[in-house]
Amino acid sequence: MTNSAKPIKKDSSAHVTHGNTLDPNQSGLRQGLPIYGDKDFSLFLRKAFIKGAGYTDSALERPVIGIANTGSSYNPCHGNMPQLLEAVKRGIMLAGGLPMEFPTISLHESFATPTSMYLRNLMSMDTEEMLRAQPMDAVVLIGGCDKTVPAQLMGAASAGLPAIQLITGSMLTGSHRSERVGACTDCRRYWAKYRAGEIDEEQKNEVNNQLVASVGTCSVMGTASTMACIAEALGMTVPGGASPPAVTADRIRVAEETGRRAVQMAHDRLTIDQILTADAFENAMRVLLAIGGSTNGIVHLAAIAGRVGLEIDLNALDQMGNETPVLLDLKPSGQHYMEHFHDAGGMATLLRELKPLLKLNAMTVTGKTLGEEIDAAGPGFAQDVVRPFSKPIYPRGSIAILYGNLAPGGAVIKQSAADERLMEHIGRAVVFENTEDLVNRIDSEDLDVTADDILVLKQIGPKGAPGMPEAGYMPIPKKLARAGVKDMVRISDGRMSGTAFGTIVLHITPESAIGGPLAYVEEGDQIQLSVKNRQISLLISDDELAKRMQARPISPPTAERGYHKLFLDTVTQADQGVDFDFLRAVNMTGKTPRSK
């Protein structure tokens, strides 16, 4: 962290700021001057240029609030950016600040090859360095689509400024032949129906028009919604900032309030390190488990925590799952969509239910603790989207951590979206060496596969693909799909979309591309999955595994130049968040969660 923690002023909950309380010599446009060897000249020059845009001296004396604009024609999940920017600026100016909008990289899941995850760290570096390079007393980060919020939180955590997250908000659901549909659980469901021959080309095209009914992020508990809830649980959004859909007045009001808060945070020097504490991460993990959140949430949390010197303790996270049932009834674990979560009171309803398990003293962007904000939200009302503890939609946390000779560094399974019947299973490995091999053979009539086999996919880890794509959700082979098979055990070192479902083991660490045991699984080997025992094992002897490793040593992939080289040379494994090793905090100071 570059900025040392400073105490929060007692009146930090005040909403409107009168006058500039910041040190005039170390704030606003006077900070971070370019080096010409003459500071006064640097400021003189800066002011001359900004006045070219018509600013007055009086405007330029205000606290400067940066706004990271991630609007892009390639990113419909951020399609409400113009309205959000207007509202954030309004909030900033109402509170006496000067809004300064600037662009950063924007990433959309469907418009980034080989995968958006490959570019998340680049976006985080862009965000961090723009926060450092440009003068600002606080920053509003506007993100929504899967990788954008993690990238912004990672970058801001390293830059160390007062920072507040604004979520773009979820899309509305659509209607296909009277059935409510939304991206992307229903995208997968309808695609599976098409593959199985249950719907024809015409119906496939028809539903394609309805799956994304407005701008905004995916409408189920995928990675975007997961990260929105996590951002609020971390204390990084205004209360209620996670759930309003993108096109609603509530979302615009959240944007205005976010702008106001940013100004107060600048005055209070409420820096991000005061919010992103071990307790905050524990709260975020608790929420991740209780919402049936995306497995990607673990990877992103590990990366954000790594920026502030904290390791995620996967064993402790797994134990938290024993006492944290899934309470949120959203797809893919349940039945509702994000707009229903918002109608049910959003995160306040969930946090109120989880309150006995939360670290209530964790600080938030409002200058109040999470506990104070839960109390301020009031008593709640009758609804059926967030269940009480006595009636969960799944009795344990959504995610379990697995270990074994196939995953010495751990693996994950989203047990709440898996088939109970397959969670204790021994099967024969049907092995695909990489995604190309999968594409070429998965639908072949000659493929030797039954519903009891275990599909194994290699080379989709952080270095393998590269970028750990969401290819872990392997399709059911067509001939089995046509016969009615809906789920099989599938294992890989990759990720899967938070909108997906099935008995799917992911994030196997270390990955196959660097010689992890997964690389040595052979066709016909027996593999055992036991979620009850938290085990994923290749049923061969240690000697046999060692013999295979010796016979076929693996060199990690390399690249000659550019970002590809930087990525392959420095990317870490899933347990460290797939961040670049040089971006993690210099001093790792502890683990989170700490309670178990």
Whether omega for the bond prior to residue 466 falls within 30 degrees of 0, making it cis, is yes
Residues 72-91 within binding reach of ligand FES (CB under 6 A): 77
| Contact status: 105 vs ligand FES (CB under 6 A) | no
Nearer to ligand FES, 222 or 367 (CB): 222
Residues 293-352 within binding reach of ligand FES (CB under 6 A): none
Nearer to ligand FES, 216 or 516 (CB): 216
| Contact status: 218 vs ligand FES (CB under 6 A) | yes
The CB-of-108 to ligand FES minimum distance in angstroms stands at: 6
54 burial level (CB within 10 Å; 0-12, 13-18, 19+)? exposed
Q: Would you call 453 helix, strand, or coil by DSSP?
A: coil
Candidates 88-96, 216-224, 339-347, 478-486 — which segment interacts with ligand FES by CB under 6 A?
Answer: 216-224
Check: CB of residue 138 under 8 Å from CB of residue 66.
yes
Check: CB of residue 567 under 8 Å from CB of residue 467.
yes
Residues 151-210 within binding reach of ligand FES (CB under 6 A): 183-184
| Contact status: 230 vs ligand FES (CB under 6 A) | no
The CB-of-508 to ligand FES minimum distance in angstroms stands at: 24
Residues 346-385 within binding reach of ligand FES (CB under 6 A): none
Tokens linked to 263:
């100004």
Nearer to ligand FES, 77 or 538 (CB): 77
Query: Could you tell me how many residues of this chain bind ligand FES (CB under 6 A)?
Result: 11
To the nearest 10 degrees (0 to 180), the angle between helices 148-159 and 223-233 is 30
Nearer to ligand FES, 338 or 365 (CB): 338
| Contact status: 146 vs ligand FES (CB under 6 A) | yes
Extended beta strands in 282-421, E state: 310-312, 399-404, 407-414
Distance between CA atoms of residues 236 and 230, nearest Å? 9
Check: CB of residue 287 under 8 Å from CB of residue 229.
yes
Tokens linked to 277:
């504490």
One of 22, 145, 228, 489 touching ligand FES (CB under 6 A): 145
Nearer to ligand FES, 188 or 269 (CB): 188
Q: Which of 506, 488, 495, 483 is nearest to 427 (CA)?
A: 488
Residues in the chain: 596
Q: End-to-end distance of the chain based on CA atoms, in angstroms? A: 27
Candidates 5-13, 193-201, 215-223, 384-392 — which segment interacts with ligand FES by CB under 6 A?
Answer: 215-223
The CB-of-106 to ligand FES minimum distance in angstroms stands at: 10
Distance between CA atoms of residues 574 and 299, nearest Å? 6
Nearer to ligand FES, 27 or 173 (CB): 173
Distance between CA atoms of residues 194 and 205, nearest Å? 10
Candidates 217-225, 272-280, 307-315, 417-425 — which segment interacts with ligand FES by CB under 6 A?
Answer: 217-225
Distance between CA atoms of residues 495 and 457, nearest Å? 11
Could you give the angle at the alpha carbon of 64 between the alpha carbons of 62 and 66, nearest 5°? 155
Residue 294: count other Cβ atoms within 10 Å of its Cβ: 33
Q: What is the DSSP pairing of strand 454-457 with strand 424-432? A: parallel
Tokens linked to 378:
């009031």
Q: Which of 310, 338, 350 is nearest to 577 (CA)?
A: 310
Candidates 149-157, 218-226, 403-411, 427-435 — which segment interacts with ligand FES by CB under 6 A?
Answer: 218-226
The CB-of-241 to ligand FES minimum distance in angstroms stands at: 16
361 burial level (CB within 10 Å; 0-12, 13-18, 19+)? exposed
Nearer to ligand FES, 102 or 111 (CB): 111
* Cα atoms found within 13 Å of the Cα of residue 573, Cβ hemisphere only: 22
| Contact status: 224 vs ligand FES (CB under 6 A) | yes
The CB-of-515 to ligand FES minimum distance in angstroms stands at: 33
| Contact status: 222 vs ligand FES (CB under 6 A) | yes
One of 30, 62, 108, 495 touching ligand FES (CB under 6 A): 108
The CB-of-384 to ligand FES minimum distance in angstroms stands at: 25
The CB-of-111 to ligand FES minimum distance in angstroms stands at: 9
The CB-of-415 to ligand FES minimum distance in angstroms stands at: 23
Candidates 214-222, 353-361, 420-428, 485-493 — which segment interacts with ligand FES by CB under 6 A?
Answer: 214-222
One of 217, 271, 274, 537 touching ligand FES (CB under 6 A): 217
H-helix segments, 526-587: 542-551, 562-570
The CB-of-212 to ligand FES minimum distance in angstroms stands at: 9
Residues at the contact surface with ligand FES, assessed by CB under 6 A? 77, 108-109, 145-146, 183-184, 217-218, 222, 224
